[in-house]
Structures are given as structure tokens and as C-alpha cells.
Structure 1
Amino acid sequence: MALGNDRAPIAVVDIGSNSVRLIVYEDESRAPAPLFNEKVLCGLGRTIASSGRLAADGVSRALRALRRFRALIDQLEVANVEVIATAAARDAENGPEFIAQAERVLGRNINVLSGTMEAELAALGVVSGIYAADGFAGDLGGGSLELIDVRGGRLSDAVTMPLGGLRLIDASGGNLKKAREIVDAEFAKVDWLEKGRGRDFYAIGGTWRALARLHMTQTNYPLSVMHNYRISAEDALRFAALLDHQSQSSLAGIRDISSARRETVPYGALVLERLIKQMKPRSVVISVLGIREGLLYSLLSEEERQKDPLLEACANLARQRSRSVANAYELCNWTDALFRAPGPVETPEQKRLRHAACLLSDIGWRAHPDYRGVQSLNLVAHGDFVGVDHPGRAFLALTVYYRNEGLVKDELSQKLVELVDKDTLKRARILGAAFRAAHMVSAAMPGVLPNTPVSYEGNRLIWALPEPYSNLDGERVERRFKALANLVDREPEIRVGTPFQLAAS
């Protein structure tokens, strides 16, 4: 498949205890974009606890799915393919027999992950997609639960337990009371769970995502993005305790839970409830990135790993949608002067988000002028970004909204405003005003902003327009610059003339 720029797609086939999935990524990079994604719920591990073997119907469904996946891989001309299998294939008596069949179907070797490796890859998925992660990652699949301590890029204290949704249903005979006893007995064997006290718990897996989706609906949450969705431990505990008492029939009328997830949600909620009581984290944070993304991350060079996933994703979008990515980078430098003393000083994280906003500032230019604001807002608010929490995502969306709509139309952005504090909102408005002013001079072309800097001088905000840019001054430039100066509590002054005259003034 020809993608240009020497990029070669990579595919990951993940044979899990409940689902079998194929994801084809655009390339191996810090912010890989999925080209194709398909999941088939096969239930391979449904009967392991009671029979010790993979379910026969699950094996048939999995092999059929893998035949289709091979055809898709060939059709997409993907040469680099990684195939992994997890708890069900690892633990079942007939696991080796199934793996041999699956390798013949796929025409490729399959790496059956150990429990420790599964935990480590899940943790690397969190590291790859959550900025400065610090807490415990928990990957709940159909056959097992992996827990591992994550602090930055360092991993420690990993364990795998037979507490996956399907396996727990099988082991308990579908009895939630008995399942609770099984869960508590397994957690009692782990003597380091208290290390998670007061830190984040990163929840990975489809069952926990279904639980979080339901929580979003119940709380009328303003975003539908699942990654980095944060629930306080107290709220998560109450909500999980409520769900783990529900039967499948009582969940049947809830559209936010798919029929395929209804049987496992009460058990996933039970595991989460008992884990929160043991670990006492400060928050539960949903990570949509797990072992597949962790596997990709593990294949990267150290130089590539050190790149910021948010800034990489924003730069990719700028290259695809903006008029000039070079101008976007120049805007990062141009706005640096606005956010240093005596102006509003920023933290390193605020600077990081500002640079991300600069890269996104022009992505809506092809839209109709009447809809640029709302389309840009929706593209950023619901975009496939990682490395940013929800308040940060709201900040980015608000800046591009204000850049296109001005600072007076708040009705379409009002729900996002609920996610940010007053200081963040003001920074979004300042940055939006800066984008509007800068665009009037640069016209989104490179080479202009480095020669037309802004600076503070006493109670004034100065904008220098030396030759040959002096004729770019105009009424709209003055109005937009005045709006920017007002937001930083300064008087505006545009200095027009030669560099010598500017230096002498």
C-alpha cells in the first residue's frame, strides 16, 4: 500500500480471550493513525475455568476471523505484521493446538505473551498515550487481569490474575456473590496494591470502557472521547457498586452497553469496586491504549519514544489540513513572547498545550466561513489525539473556535467551557485573539511572523511591522491587535517603519 513519505504500514493481530482484533496502523511512529480496525468477539476463553480448554465454537469463530484478517492484510499490502495471543491461548490445554492452527491460517508466527509481558505491554500502552503517567495500569480482558506499577517510563510490580470477565463468569457459575469471593481471594495474594494509594488507576479493556461510557451518559458529560476520561475514585466506587448488582436483563434496555458486553459489565464493575477498595487510588482514568499500542511503542527507537505524542499528532494534522505547517511552527515562537513576564506566565504544561494549539490553528481554513468555528471545534474536541487530558483537549478546541469565530460567540462552546477553569479559559481567549491578529499579517504564510514580533514595553503591547511589512498595517489589523492587547491588560501600539527606526523609537 503506497502511503508516500517512505511510510510503511504495520499490522497488529491480537488474539484475546474474548475478542480477536486486527488493527493496521499508518506507520511506526509516536502518533500512529489506524488505517483499519476490526474486532470479532469470539469468546475463546469462555470455558477455561470449568474445562481447562478453549471453547470449541470460539476456536471456529477465531479461525474464521483470522482467515479474513489475512486476506485484508494481503489486500492492504502490509509487510510488517505482529501477531500476539494472550491469556486464553496461554492457559488452555488445547492452546498450543489452536496456536498451530492459527499460524497456518495467518501464515505467520504468533507470540503467546506471558502474563508479565502482557502486563508490561499494557503499561507501555499507557505510557505511549498518557502524558507523565503515574499510577497503576490494569488491563481487564476476557481471561485475565494484569496489574502493573507505572511511573513515567519505569515499570515495576507486575502480576496477572485469572479475573477476566468471561473466566470469572465461568469460575463463579454466573453467581456474583461467589465471584466477589474469588476476586477478594486473588487480591489478598498481592501485597503491594497499597502502593497505588493516592495515585491514578489506568483502566484498560472493553468492559471498563463500557462502564465509563455509561458513566458519561449518566452524568451528561460534555465530551464523548473515551481516552483519558477521569472519574474520581469515590464516584467510580459508587458507580461500580451500583453496576455489579445489575443482572443482564436489567442492563438490556441500556443502549450505551452493547449486547456483547452486557454479561461481562457487572463482573468488570465488581473487579473495579474491589480493586478501588484495596488500592485506594485518587482517580480512575480510562486508557483506550493497551497491549497493541504498547507493542508498537516497544518497537520504536529511543529517539522516537522521546517525542511528544500530542505535538506529533497535531503536527501531522497541520501538515494535512493547514496552509503552511512552517507558519504554524512560527506561530509557536511568535506567541512565546506573549506568555513570558511581564505578560501571563505559563507552566511547562501550559506552554506544551499552547504549542499544540498553534499547530492546530489553521486546520479549518477549507471549511465554509459560516462553519469554520464549529467544525474546527468538533474536529479538535473529538479528534483522535492522545497525550492530553480532557481539560487540555477542551482548551485546544476553544482556542481554534475563538480563532475562527472571534471572542463574542460562546454558545457553541459553552459545554466545553465547563471542563476548564477561569485561568485556562482566559488563556484560550488570549491565544485565539493572538491567532486572529497574526493571521491578518501573515495570511498563514511562512517567513512573516519571525520578522514582525510582539513585545511588552511598560503598559503597552508592541507589535513591530518593519519594512517591507509596513503596508500590512490596516484597520482590521488594529482592531484585532487591540482585542489581544485588552486581554493581556495592555495598551496596543503598532510600530510601523524600518528596523533602524524601530530600534531608535
Structure 2
Amino acid sequence: MVSAVRSRRPGVLGLEAVERALAALARFKVIARILSVKNIRVIATAAVRDAQNGRDFIERGERAIGTRIDILSGETEARLAAQGIMMGFIDADGVAGDLGGGSLEVIDLAQDRLNDAATLPLGGLRLIDTTGNKIERAVEIVDNALASLPWIRNGAGRTFYAVGGTWRALAKMQMDRVDYPLRVMQGYRLTTREALDLCEQFRKVKKPLDLPGISGVARARREVLPFGALVLERLLRQMEPRQVVFSVFGIREGLIYSLLPPYERARDPLICFCEDYAALRSRSVEHAYELCAWTDKLFSDPALEETAEERRLRHAACLLSDVGWRGHPDYRGEQAINTISHAGLAGVDHPGRIFLALSVFYRHETSENDGAGLSDRLRSLVSKRVQRRARIVGAAIRAAHMLSIGMAGVIDQTPLSYENGVLVLTLPPAYAALDGERLRRRFRSSGRIGWQEGGSPILRLRGSTPRLRRNEF
């Protein structure tokens, strides 16, 4: 994607920046040849579209890359940004905004529907050129431009999806300021009040470039940060959304999404990732799916009632449950929580991501050995219910792996069921020898998770004498 390449002259692509962009295109041509890429798509956005010398740059760029460069219209930019959000989030509902160097694209989306859309000349570099780098002059320009879009008030009480490097840089500053333990931008969220407070810092200080955390922002982007913060602030004040969610999925991902057939678009991005990751890192994908069905029986008890989203996350945890099996036994839990919490997941928010990481952590670690460091800090970000469910799912997966050794075709023959309120694990004769102290210790070691509040139904290994209370499972 060819984006903003600024010149000292407004409306003109700078010579030095143009040469860097041409060199990048030539480099990608070589990379594509090495990787045997057959289909190369190159797109140019507002800075090129509106530049006086944009057509000349496109001609030189096409020679450098060896293929056509499509100059996107503002409407197409907005649509692709929204489709990027649709690719990265499940049932996205709200207004997406993509802030670039030359323009701001905004579009209303409700699940799979794209509604009102517009492009505005409010990119950070454009505002610098228009105002002579005087941010106080930009307030009226931004407000007037946003006032031309009365439909953005339809975002009130919904989610604003923030796309673009400038806004991600602002979010990174916030992460640094609060020492946020999960350094993943996709799905990071702030309340509207928190986002406004962050933006207002740039209005209240005389030297915004001295703000805490700005040293972690790329030097080339620091100049536009005050203008990006101003655009976000004025947008939020007019829209009044419930929250701001930051996305690394934008125009490029939207372009990929637009090329997918309908059946691929309909697939769950989180489950797809987990399935592929299980195929790469675990012993058996088939076993992972057996775990989904095996734990379905466990959660059929009304006392463990779960929402559709909680069920989806449990299935994702089952798919990821064995990805750390090659690690050293003493460090599998620690490695799992770090790997999964920072994996390139889509279709999941931060609490969901933490649930997955904790579930696989507890699959390897007992309740007596909760670990420290990252696991403690991540737990602080989620509710007690999420923590409790992660312990339950991790304990169930740990017991299942005790039976199956991570291989398919076993736990579907050792099912869980409920009989008169009693959870029963059935061991057929072929697997009767698996019953022993170690298996029972696995069940007992899970007993301190607080499985059920109140009541004392029992877990029985069919055909065995001892009985264990279900809240000791």
C-alpha cells in the first residue's frame, strides 16, 4: 500500500520520500519473486490521489513493482477500512475511522452491513500543511468537516473502531502510561472518557513531544500525533460512542477480505487461527476437536451455564490446549501463557484472549502452582468469572489429556455424562487400566478451583469404588 509521502510543498509528493517509496516497491518485487507470489495488488491512498505529481509517481511506481497500482477513491478507502474491521472482529457494530496522512475515512457498519461512509481531508500531514503546523488553527477545520456528517451521531452509545498508525501510537502511549501488561494493539479498548483524557493531554501541554511514552513512538510519526489526537478528540465529542477499540486491521486486511469467497468470509477468524495453530504445534487436531465435544458434556449442567461467546472461547481453548507440549515440562505453563496472550489472534477481545491464555496455563499448572509475573498481571485485567472459567476449562483439559495422552480416539470412548445430577466419567474395559492414583490425583488436584458454589453433587468413575465430590473435580 502506497500511503502518505510528504513534501515541504503542500499538495506535492516530496522527492526524497518518493525515492524511498520507489525503492520499497522494487524491493517488494524481488521478495514476491523469491516467494513465488502470483498475484500482487498495489493500492495508493489519499496522499497520492490528491497530489499534483501523483500521476507521475504512479507511473514510476508501476515500473518499479512491475504491476498496476490502483488509486483508491475515498469511498473505496472507507469501505476497505470497514471490511478490515469485519475481518478482525466478530459482529462489529459501530463506526470505523481510518486516519492516514492525507485523509480520514469514516463508515458506519453493523455486523455485515456497510452503511453511511465519507472521506474527509483531515489526515495529519494535510492538517500540518493546511495550518502551518499550528494546532489551534486546526480545531475549527476539524469541527466544520465533521459537522458535514450528521450521521456520525448514529455512533452514540456504540463502538468507535480506530484504525491507522497515528491512533495506534496514541494507544501505545496509553499502554505505557498505565503499564498495561498485554502489549497487543488489536482489540485494545478504552472508554470514551479515557480516550478523551489521552487526547486532551496534547491540548494542555506546551510541548506535546515531551509527553511520557512518546519516546516509544517512531520519530517520523511524532509530528502528526497532536493533530491525530485532535481529530480523535473532536470526533468522539460529536459521536459520543461508548468505547474506543483500536484495530491493526485496516485497508490492507479489508482488501484481502474483499477478495475472499463468501464461504471464507463467513468462517470464524478465531477458530480458523486456532485450528491452523493446532495443526502446526499440537499432536492431534482431531483430539483438539474431541476435547470440544467432551467438554460440551461437562458444561451441559445448568450450574455451569455459559453464553454462546463463552462456548466459542472454550472451544478455542481446547484447540490451543496442546500447542506447548514440546516445551520443557517445568515451563510449559509459562510459555503457553506468553505465546497465546501475544499470538496474532483475530475475532477476540482482550478479556477473551486472556481467558485462552489462562485456560492453557491451567492445563499445565495446578492450582497450587499458579505462577507469578505475567499470569498474575493478566488475571488483574479480567473478571472473577473469566478467571474461574479458565480454571475449570484448564482442569478439564488436564484430566482429558491424562486419559488420552493427547491422541485422538480415546476421550470419545471415555465420555462424561450426567446421571441424576451426578457427573459420571465412563471408562470402558479397554481403558480400565487408566484408572489409578495418578488419574484420581488429576481430578483431585483440580478440586480447589471452586467448581460449583453450593451443593455437593459427586463425580464417580463408573465401576470404581471411591467417590469424589464434583466440586473437587
TM-score category of the 2 structures, normalised to the smaller one: over 0.9
1:16 equivalenced with 2:31 (yes/no): no
The match for 2:289 is 329
Counterpart of 1:437 (choices 381, 386, 399) is 399
- 1:153 to 1:45, Cα distance in 2 relative to 1, 3 A: farther
- Superposed displacement of residue 245, structure 1: 4.4
- 1:396 to 1:252, Cα distance in 2 relative to 1, 3 A: closer
1:494 equivalenced with 2:469 (yes/no): no
The match for 2:432 is 470
State how far apart, in whole Å, the 1-side matches of 2:109 and 2:67 are: 32
The match for 1:421 is 383
Counterpart of 1:219 (choices 174, 178, 193) is 178
- Superposed displacement of residue 496, structure 1: 3.7
The match for 2:468 is none
CA contact (8 A) 1:140 1:164 kept: yes
The match for 1:350 is 310
The match for 2:133 is 174
CA contact (8 A) 2:363 2:397 kept: yes
- 1:363 to 1:371, Cα distance in 2 relative to 1, 3 A: same
1:57 equivalenced with 2:16 (yes/no): yes
- 1:76 to 1:161, Cα distance in 2 relative to 1, 3 A: same
Q: Deviations over 1:448-503 (max 9, x none)?
A: 11111112233532100012111111111112224557624542210149xxxxxx
1:88 equivalenced with 2:75 (yes/no): no
State how far apart, in whole Å, the 2-side matches of 1:341 and 1:69 are: 55
Q: Which has the higher strand share?
A: 1
Secondary structure of the residue aligned to 1:15 is: coil
Secondary structure of the residue aligned to 1:387 is: coil
The match for 2:33 is 74
Deviates most, 207-216 or 252-261: 252-261
1:365 equivalenced with 2:365 (yes/no): no
Pairing 1:161-310 to 2, within 5 Å after superposition: 161-246=120-205, 247=207, 249-251=209-211, 254-310=214-270
- Contiguous gaps of at least 5 residues in structure 1: 1-13, 18-43, 498-505
Q: Deviations over 1:399-445 (max 9, x none)?
A: 01000011222242111111221111111111111011111111111
1:395 equivalenced with 2:362 (yes/no): no
The match for 1:32 is none
- Superposed displacement of residue 219, structure 1: 1.3
1:316 equivalenced with 2:276 (yes/no): yes
What is the number of residues matched between the two proteins?
Answer: 456
1:453 equivalenced with 2:415 (yes/no): yes
State how far apart, in whole Å, the 1-side matches of 2:212 and 2:376 are: 33
CA contact (8 A) 1:464 1:494 kept: yes
The match for 1:30 is none
State how far apart, in whole Å, the 2-side matches of 1:409 and 1:64 are: 53
CA contact (8 A) 1:407 1:433 kept: no
1:53 is matched by which residue type in structure 2?
V
State how far apart, in whole Å, the 1-side matches of 2:444 and 2:413 are: 20
Deviates most, 461-470 or 201-210: 461-470
Q: Which has the higher helix share?
A: 2
CA contact (8 A) 2:366 2:445 kept: no
TM-score, length-scaled by structure 1 = 0.88
State how far apart, in whole Å, the 2-side matches of 1:492 and 1:58 are: 68
Secondary structure of the residue aligned to 1:424 is: helix
1:280 is matched by which residue type in structure 2?
E
The match for 2:115 is 156
State how far apart, in whole Å, the 2-side matches of 1:179 and 1:58 are: 25
State how far apart, in whole Å, the 1-side matches of 2:369 and 2:215 are: 34
CA contact (8 A) 1:194 1:278 kept: yes
Q: Deviations over 1:47-80 (max 9, x none)?
A: 5xx6432222221221122112212222222111
Secondary structure of the residue aligned to 1:319 is: helix
The match for 1:131 is 90
- Superposed displacement of residue 92, structure 1: 1.3
